[in-house]
Amino acid sequence: MDAKVYQRTIENVEVIDLRITPIVKTLALKTENGVIVAGTVLQRNSDGDCIPHAAYADLEMAGDVNDTNKAYTYAGAGFPGPVAPTTVVVTHGDQSLQDDGSGRLYGDGTGTVNYITGAVAVTFDAAPASDSGAPVVAARGVPMAVATRYANTELNDDDEAIDDVVTCLVFGCVVRDRVNVGGAALGNTDAELLAKANIHALY
């Protein structure tokens, strides 16, 4: 069924699977952040507003790349909110480090990550060669809800968000093939992260 609301057409898509009694809440959205369609996985930004859940990759770390320096840092500015434990990966060439879910990085060196701020510090076993480019960090945000209705966060003629809240599932089950991350189908990693937030994506 389609409904006409304020001159826009909204498709009624049922996202919730009722095999577990759901908990649904209305959550605040970040303004000027595009359209949220039903089934969009959401995370919080550093201000506590909901934004679409995403993976962040190839964020360059700071530090001299000069054949001798092994220590690099990332301040976390590229992560709009907390990062999910066990999703942080630092790479440079064939060297890589992965977080252990407790704030430590292991692999071809050692390091730490602050899951709240996204700050990362690593020391590689081998110093990256000069002109080989900066090490990069990747991580995923922390999913915490799934939108069950359409919302448009863009501004109207009065400079107010058309929709500043959205109805979301915060506990229960969702129909997996009706859930998306950035418009793409829900992958296994994000499904596992959702499950940690007590939202289970079922076929």
Question: Per residue in 101-120, pLDDT tens?
Answer: 999 999 999 999 999 999 99
Which amino acid would we find at residue 171?
A: F
Look at residue 13 in the predicted model and tell me its pLDDT.
60
How many Cα atoms sit within 13 Å of 34 on the Cβ side?
8
Residue ranges matching CATH 2.60.40 in the chain? 55-140
Which pair of tokens denotes residue 54? Answer: 């995403």
In CATH, what is the architecture of 2-53+142-202? Beta Barrel (2.40)
What whole-number percentage of the chain has pLDDT above 90? 88
- On whether the CB atoms of residues 181 and 187 are closer than 8 A, the answer is yes
Question: Which residue intervals of the chain bear CATH 2.40.300.10?
Answer: 2-53+142-202
Domain 55-140 architecture: Sandwich (2.60)
pLDDT of residue 159: 87
- What digits encode the pLDDT tens for the residues 120-165? 999 999 999 998 999 999 999 999 999 999 999 999 888 888 999 9
CA distance 108 to 82: 25
Which residue type occupies 8?
R
Mean pLDDT for the stretch of residues 185-200: 96
